[in-house]
Amino acid sequence: MGSPVKEQILKLFTDNKDEFISGEYISKQLGISRTAIWKYMNELKTEGIDIVAVRKVGYKIVGKLDKITPTDIKLGLETKQFGRNVFFYEEVESTQNIANELVFKGAEEGTIVLAERQVKGRGRLQRNWVTGEGKAIAMSIILKPSIPPKVAPQLTLLAAVAVASAISKVTNLKPNIKWPNDILINNKKVCGILTEMHGDSDLISSVIVGIGINVNQEKDEFPNDIISRATSIRIEEGKKILRSKIVQAILMEMEKLYAIFLEKGFVPIKLLWESYAISLGREITATTYSETIVGKALGITEEGQLLLQDEEGKIHTIYSADISI
């Protein structure tokens, strides 16, 4: 974890967005000397935060590099709990594994793990997940809800709503969700979500929500066999976006939706999910581990399973499948 004083300085800048803050004010607020402030400001500069210092006026943050270190995430973060503990790595096998270890060490709810590179990133249905170095987001969020395991898929859908809503807030794009939790922009996948849980058959002790987003890759950085199906926020938006902004927006949306979920249950989340859903009312193909079903997507159940009506009118409840639209 970073130095508490630096965290307090980041909070002051977060609370006074785009404004100069005088050294005297910082000094009074934090009870530290002007020399100490100067030292911390220099540390922030070396961490990639672009700070201007104007004599007799104070300090102002004018920009930052596209990095996702704890400093980058905390500067501008408006959540109470989510993302307040950030574990950042240059390279990991999978952020899910680190989050798992942290859960066993008693990590708090809302703790996140971020990495620039994953060498064994995991996707749904036992697939690999490639994290484009320096241009993508690979993040795992630790949740500790007291819910029975059958309710856990609802959290996957909640995470999809959080990501879709965060992307619409930070960009001009209109993301959609493909069941259960792929985020698409202009029909191409920009984000995948993998939820893993611990607990026993009655009660969950933790859920790790793994989110992988293509942010700043350009077209030629995607392998040929993927480019027709995948995209990045940069390709669709036409400009680079700071990854830290997207992470912050996701954390904010997750915190908000998770509180609603704990208080009111899944119904409000289900409505939001449906407002982003791409396939409802359309004919889709669901490939489960045992069969392929072609049918009309009718909606999702209260538990988050997909309802599919085949040609004969039979309604199938889909728990896990690969969907083609």
What x/- string results for residues 160 through 199 when contact with ligand BTN is judged by CB under 6 A? ----------------------x---------xxx-----
The residues in 65-84 that bind ligand BTN, with binding defined as CB under 6 A, are none
CA distances from 18 to 181, 255, 315, 317 (A): 35, 25, 54, 50
Which of these segments, 146-154, 205-213, 240-248, 277-285, binds ligand BTN (CB under 6 A)? 205-213
d(CA 61, CA 51): 4
CB of 210 vs ligand BTN, minimal distance in Å: 3
Residue with tokens 């300085």: 9
- For ligand BTN, the binding residue among 2, 48, 123, 149 (CB under 6 A) is 123
Residue closer to ligand BTN by CB (options 100, 165) is 100
Does 210 interact with ligand BTN (rule: CB under 6 A)? yes
What is the C-alpha separation between 65 and 136, in angstroms, rounded? 14
Nearest distance in Å: CB 162, ligand BTN: 14
Under the binding rule (CB under 6 A), the answer on residue 229 touching ligand BTN is no
**C-beta separation of 218 from 200 below 8 A:** no
DSSP 73-137: HHTT---SSTTSSEEEEEEES-HHHHHHHHHHTTPPTT-EEEEEEESS-B-GGG-B----TTTEE
Sign of CA dihedral 130, 132, 133, 137: negative
322: three-class secondary structure by DSSP: strand
Does position 129 interact with ligand BTN (CB under 6 A)? The reply is yes
Q: Is residue 118 at the binding interface for ligand BTN, with CB under 6 A as the rule? A: yes
Provide the minimum distance between the beta carbon of 56 and ligand BTN in the complex, in angstroms, as a whole number: 46
138 lines the binding site for ligand BTN (CB under 6 A): yes
Number of H helices, E strands in the chain: 9, 14
Binding site for ligand BTN (CB under 6 A): 94-96, 118, 121-124, 127, 129, 138-140, 182, 192-194, 210-212
